[in-house]
Amino acid sequence: MNNAHLSIRGLDKWYGPVHALRKLDLDIPKGQVIGLIGDNGAGKSTFIKILSGVHKQTAGQIFFEGQEAQISKPRDAMNLGIETIYQYTAMVPEMSIARNLFIGREKRKWGLRGFGFLDEAAMAEEAMAAIADVGLHLRSPDAPVKDLSGGQRQGVAIARAMHFRSRMLILDEPTNHLSVKETNKVLEYVQQMRDLGVTVIFISHNLHHVHEVSDRIVAFARGSKVADLLVGETSVPNMIDLIS
């Protein structure tokens, strides 16, 4: 698989009569930021949902770190080290920062098969350390997520991915509805991930953001890959031409 971190071969997805993804071939090297662009209906969301285990491909193969991967549910993607952070991050607003950081991976003092007492103190301590590692300083791990700004929520989600040693991070429209300051912070997080050797798939309609942080640009149109270029080989105007 050309030593690629992720290799896709002949990926197809049908939703009834709709051919959403068409014989996709793609290689993504380890430690690069891939800017994934395309208009609505281009196939980006379908591709990400397959990688994250929300949907199953109709045909085709996925190879992760040289081995064929069967991703049938989100837990399969998580076990591989693939973490997806959506525009509206998968968090429970009423729950604390610490509980959200450990959601699905809760620490327990004792227990079997998911039962037992939660180790709240250990989760709080590790949560604050994980958040500090990404340069985010919050007053308390017990604060509810609903009290955080959009940029802070993205920071917590990225801290979660880092803490659990995610190998690949998928960011779906991470800068939507953020202030300029928060947007710049999220773009810094992306560059930080790359510096740590994490592979990032960055999806955004803001092509300036994509061009700023990406190593390569992959463009989809009508369910097919129409371009795969080093960022130095293209420009924002050219990117607009690719997807329009």
pLDDT, tens digit, 9 for 90 and up, residues 56-93: 999 999 999 999 999 999 889 989 999 998 765 567 88
The pLDDT value given to residue 160: 86
Of 19-23, 61-65, 138-142, the least confident: 138-142
Amino acid making up residue 7:
S
Length of the chain: 244
User: Where do the domains of the chain lie?
Assistant: 1-81+167-244, 93-165
pLDDT band of residue 218 (cuts 50, 70, 90) is: very high
Q: What is the pLDDT of residue 60?
A: 97
In this structure, which topology does domain 1-81+167-244 adopt according to CATH?
Rossmann fold (3.40.50)
Q: State residue 45's pLDDT score.
A: 93
Output the pLDDT for position 25: 97
Contact 171, 34 (CB under 8 A): no
pLDDT value of residue 10: 97
Query: pTM for this structure?
Result: 0.86
- Inter-residue contact 219 to 19 (CB < 8 Å): no
Q: What is the pLDDT of residues 161-191, one digit of tens each?
A: 888 888 999 999 888 888 888 888 889 889 9
Find the mean pLDDT for residues 27-44. Answer: 95
User: Is 21:204 a contact under the CB 8 Å cutoff?
Assistant: no
134 pLDDT band (50/70/90 cuts)? confident
**Mean pLDDT of the 143-163 span:** 86
Percent of the chain with pLDDT over 70: 95
Phi, psi dihedral angles at 94 (to 5 degrees): -80, -15
C-alpha 42/C-alpha 32 separation (Å) is: 22
